[in-house]
């Protein structure tokens, strides 16, 4: 059965790599062309995921359950089971990183927000590593996490970044909570939620406060030959990479630079920089541990029932302000910080 693929590598990067003529990067070009083919069925199969049951309850039930499989270089899922919940370390970096990353994501949602797994009902977290040969992506397929090992020229293994794991698994949370349409501003919000909770998982695991955190998505997946630190930056959208091969990070930080395009489902991986930066500004204005105040406000907004599937940026902004008001009170510094953050990125007056 086909399922939706929310890949971590934006289509514009894959398209650029696929067009390379440099024989020194033949593996990267070939891998990108193949990864693009994997994205083509997205529009037809996304409806399957949108019909998933929405669970907004937050009572913690059950316990963490994970299962890691190894595809062994084939594009067949799930692969061979290599590490069940509580199983010993395998010694395979990708399998053990996936296991740890799933656990870190579960702990954020469970221990901070009281949600039982990504669906709110204790769903087991499954992942497959070593998917395909030189596969240039990691994705949530509507049911499980899937990780490639990269082409070795531009990308290394995708489990090397905790934010990649937590970003993709958060697509599952969004699937089971808001079902944001993967198009235009609602699609950019879908991507932004994954970036927001993705960095919060990493910050919580590393004990970083908002001021000290790097606010990067995908740090560690580029090879040493790439001039860039990550795929995206919430702190400074548009600065994550500037490379002769990859080009320059195209993300805008404010509505003044909003990108109108028909590619990438209306620029979902590009314009997500705007709500990303709004969250960064709110979190740093409040200070301390970003997964506490700012993270809880965004989480409350997602589960508030105020987020339609075709939600645009202003609607989401108003929902976060209402969530801050409900949690911290009218006139609180939290309400002010959230409202000011959306104003600073030009989403609301």
Residues 231 and 209 reside in one and the same domain: yes
Residues 218 and 164 reside in one and the same domain: no
Asked if residue 182 belongs to a domain, the reply is no
Q: Can you give the pLDDT at residue 45?
A: 44
Last residue of a domain, one of 149, 175, 201: 175
Residues 270 and 297 reside in one and the same domain: yes
Give per-residue pLDDT as tens, 178-213.
989 999 999 999 999 999 999 999 999 999 999 999
Residues 11 and 122 reside in one and the same domain: yes
Residues 142 and 201 reside in one and the same domain: no
Residues 86 and 221 reside in one and the same domain: no
Q: Can you give the pLDDT at residue 47?
A: 45
Asked if residue 134 belongs to a domain, the reply is yes
Asked if residue 216 belongs to a domain, the reply is yes
Distance CA 349, CA 138 (A): 37
Query: Which position among 269, 277, 289, 334 bears the catalytic label?
Result: 269
Residues 21 and 164 reside in one and the same domain: yes
Residues 34 and 160 reside in one and the same domain: yes
Q: Can you give the pLDDT at residue 3?
A: 44
More confident position, 58 or 166: 166
Domain that holds residue 272: 188-344
The CATH number covering residue 265 comes to: 1.10.390.10
Measured between alpha carbons, how far apart are the two ends of the chain, in Å? Answer: 45
Tell me 257's DSSP state.
G
Whether residue 318 has pLDDT greater than 90: yes
Q: Can you give the pLDDT at residue 25?
A: 86
Distance CA 153, CA 243 (A): 13
Q: Can you give the pLDDT at residue 164?
A: 98
Query: Which position among 38, 168, 191, 334 bears the catalytic label?
Result: 168
Residues 198 and 326 reside in one and the same domain: yes
pTM over 0.85: yes
Give per-residue pLDDT as tens, 26-82.
889 999 999 988 775 543 444 455 555 555 444 556 689 999 999 999 999 999 999
The CATH number covering residue 28 comes to: 3.10.170.10
Asked if residue 113 belongs to a domain, the reply is yes
Burial class of residue 254, CB neighbours in 10 A (0-12, 13-18, 19+): middle
Asked if residue 181 belongs to a domain, the reply is no
- All residues at 6 or more sequence positions from 79 whose CB lies less than 8 Å from its CB, including other chains: 69, 70, 71, 72, 128, 129, 130, 131
Last residue of a domain, one of 175, 208, 241: 175
Q: Active site includes 43?
A: no
Q: Which two tokens stand for residue 239?
A: 């600065």
Residues 138 and 20 reside in one and the same domain: yes
Tell me 86's DSSP state.
T
Give per-residue pLDDT as tens, 17-38.
999 888 888 889 999 999 988 7
Q: Active site includes 269?
A: yes
Last residue of a domain, one of 152, 175, 198: 175
Asked if residue 183 belongs to a domain, the reply is no
Asked if residue 277 belongs to a domain, the reply is yes
Residues 136 and 271 reside in one and the same domain: no
Asked if residue 349 belongs to a domain, the reply is no
Q: Can you give the pLDDT at residue 255?
A: 98
- What are the C-alpha distances in Å from 43 to residues 40, 143, 220? 7, 17, 30
Looking at the 3D structure of the chain, how many domains does it have? 2
Q: Can you give the pLDDT at residue 53?
A: 52
Residues 93 and 211 reside in one and the same domain: no
């Amino acid at each position: 059965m086909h399922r939706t693929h929310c890949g971590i590598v934006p289509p514009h990067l894959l398209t650029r790599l696929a067009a390379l003529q440099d024989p020194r990067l033949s593996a990267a070009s070939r891998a990108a062309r193949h990864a693009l083919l994997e994205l083509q069925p997205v529009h037809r199969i996304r409806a399957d995921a949108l019909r998933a049951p929405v669970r907004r309850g937050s009572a913690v039930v059950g316990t963490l359950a994970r299962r890691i499989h190894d595809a062994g270089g084939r594009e067949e899922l799930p692969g061979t089971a290599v590490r069940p919940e509580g199983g010993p370390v395998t010694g395979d970096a990708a399998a053990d990183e996936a296991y740890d990353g799933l656990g870190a994501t579960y702990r954020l949602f469970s221990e901070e927000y009281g949600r039982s797994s990504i669906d709110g009902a204790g769903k087991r977290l499954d992942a497959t590593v070593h998917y395909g040969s030189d596969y240039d992506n990691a994705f949530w397929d509507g049911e499980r996490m899937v990780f490639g090992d990269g082409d070795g020229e531009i990308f290394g293994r995708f489990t090397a970044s905790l934010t990649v794991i937590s970003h993709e698994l958060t697509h599952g949370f969004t699937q089971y909570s808001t079902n944001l349409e993967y198009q235009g501003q609602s699609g950019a919000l879908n991507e932004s939620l994954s970036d927001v909770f993705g960095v919060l998982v990493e910050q919580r695991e590393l004990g970083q406060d908002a001021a000290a955190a790097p606010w990067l998505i995908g740090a560690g997946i580029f090879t040493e030959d790439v001039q860039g630190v990550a795929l995206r930056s919430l702190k400074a959208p548009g600065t994550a990479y500037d490379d002769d091969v990859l080009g320059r990070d195209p993300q805008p930080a404010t509505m003044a630079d909003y990108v109108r395009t028909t590619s990438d489902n209306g620029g979902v991986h590009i314009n997500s920089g705007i709500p990303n930066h709004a969250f960064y500004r709110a979190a740093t204005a409040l200070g301390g541990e970003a997964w506490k105040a700012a993270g809880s406000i965004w989480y409350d907004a997602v589960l508030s029932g105020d987020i339609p599937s075709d939600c645009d940026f202003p609607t989401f902004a108003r929902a976060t302000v209402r969530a801050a008001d409900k949690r911290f009170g009218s006139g609180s510094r939290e309400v002010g910080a959230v409202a000011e953050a959306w104003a600073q990125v030009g989403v609301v007056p």
